[in-house]
Amino acid sequence: MGRIFRSFFMGGFECSTHVRRDGVRLDLLQSTRHDQFAAADYARLRGIGMDTARDGVRWHLVEATPGRYEFDSLMPMVKAALETDIQVVWDLLHFGWPDHVDVFDASFAPRFGAFSHAFAERLKREGITELAVCPVNEISFLAFAGGEAGFFNPYARQRGDEIKRQFVRGSLAARAAVLNVFPGARLVSIDPIIHVVAAAGRPQDREAAAAHERSQYHTWDMLSGRIEPELGGSPEALDVIGVNYYVHNQWVYPGGHGSMIEPSSPDYRPLRHMLAEVWQRYRRPVFIAETGIEDAARPLWFRYVAGEARAAMQVGVNFHGICIYPIVNHPGWDDDRHCYNGLWDYADDHGRREIYPPLAVEIEKEAEAFRHPATAPTEFQDGRDLDLLDQEAKAMAEASDRSRDQLGSTTGTE
């Protein structure tokens, strides 16, 4: 099978730009100083054998005035990509959009298409010859969190299906716009993969849990025209599938505090089976577009994910790589806490970042394992590994719950 990405391991730069409920707009590229030190960041990736990166375009900065596109905020990353000869997969909408854009309005898709066309034309003028784009990151999560449950922007409730269709229309408009400028561009559709079960002793919740799990496929089904073909989807519109997978992507229905399924639980579904299910359903190239964990479990989690990816490849999954996300530590969305979840830490005023050696060592070990897969282990050998993952998973879930609860209490939300 042909290569889609220049390297199997990749690094992703957190690029969320959504507006919190308290009115603060996040800009993670700015707060991590990646927009300032992109060339050094890309060079660091190249130095450890990662020739592909995920990065973002900040629509709210590019189109601060309706219909006027200014790409000054993007140029540091574009010039750095050219300078370091790194392949970038660009997110055009990573949870945020300009204040003057209404994602529920009929004008959303054509406006997003126009922005995407302007982006592609600008990159072509700058000398970019190959392009890979994710039009809208995590449509399923954004539709649920922002359109159905109301805890994420645009903070709507019971409009999840409506906003999902809007983002699918927007993605298809962006696809057409990009291909008009770069006919050979690769279009990446990225969403989380999940596993949901009913609680023991609650058989009445089994169908609801299964329906929630099936919903992970709705966006890809829409894009490919399997369902709601009136949106404009088609088989060729589903090009490359990116799956986002974290330790908290498995839970007991209906979710909420304390519902996460721990890696040691018999209810925890092996990642290899989830990857195989995506491949068997769509027969499109698959890669892990986001994965990571915080603190001391970082190398252990990467070892688990890499081993599961190898196991999936051994049963025939057309699998193309793993992106560590984020590749640099960043402030927490809700409370600005220092999240130690990357390979490198915050940058100093000279663009230097301290590396986390245990994860760097594990990356090299896994690179060697993929070069010689026949001798690579695919299972944890020590029960203490699962214990550590359980502990770190609980800590992450508790920290996320605390920060979300704190934000809610300070803004008068539930």
| Segment 153-194, tens digit of pLDDT | 999 999 999 999 999 999 999 999 999 999 999 999 999 999
What pLDDT was estimated at residue 226? Answer: 98
pTM for this structure? 0.95
Note if the bond before 299 is cis, omega within 30 degrees: no
Composition of the chain by helix, strand, coil, percent to 5: 45, 15, 40
Q: Which CATH code, of 3.40.190.10, 1.10.3720.10, 3.40.50.150, 3.20.20.80, is assigned to 9-411?
A: 3.20.20.80
Q: What are phi and psi of 377, to 5 degrees?
A: -70, 150
Q: Distance between CA 333 and CA 27 in Å, rounded?
A: 10
Question: Which of the four pLDDT bands, split at 50, 70 and 90, describes residue 410?
Answer: very low
Identify the pLDDT of residue 397: 72
Q: 3-class SS at 291?
A: strand
Mean pLDDT of the chain: 93
Residue 94 has pLDDT above 90, yes or no: yes
Tell me the two tokens of residue 403. Answer: 């920060």
Least confident of 179-193, 226-240, 318-332, 387-401: 387-401
Secondary structure E strands in 220-340: 240-244, 250-252, 286-291, 319-324, 330-331, 338-339
Q: Where are the domains of the chain?
A: 9-411
The answer for residues whose C-beta is within 8 angstroms of residue 293's C-beta and 6 or more apart is 246, 247, 301, 341, 389, 392, 393, 396
| Cβ(22)–Cβ(414) below 8 Å | no
CA-based nearest residue to 57, from 138, 146, 123, 107: 123
DSSP per residue, 4-73:
SSS-SEEEE-----PBPTTSPBP-HHHHTTTTTSHHHHHHHHHHTT--EEEEE--HHHHTSBTTB---TT
Whether 412 shows a pLDDT value over 90: the answer reads no
User: Cα dihedral angle (183, 186, 189, 195), rounded to 10 degrees?
Assistant: 150
Helix axes 38-47, 75-84, angle to 10 degrees: 30
pLDDT range class, residue 281, cuts 50, 70, 90: very high
Cα(297)–Cα(275) distance, integer angstroms? 22
Coil/strand/helix, residue 328: strand
The per-residue pLDDT for range 356-406, each reduced to its tens digit, is 999 999 999 999 999 987 666 555 555 678 788 888 778 877 776 665 565
Per-residue pLDDT at 413: 32
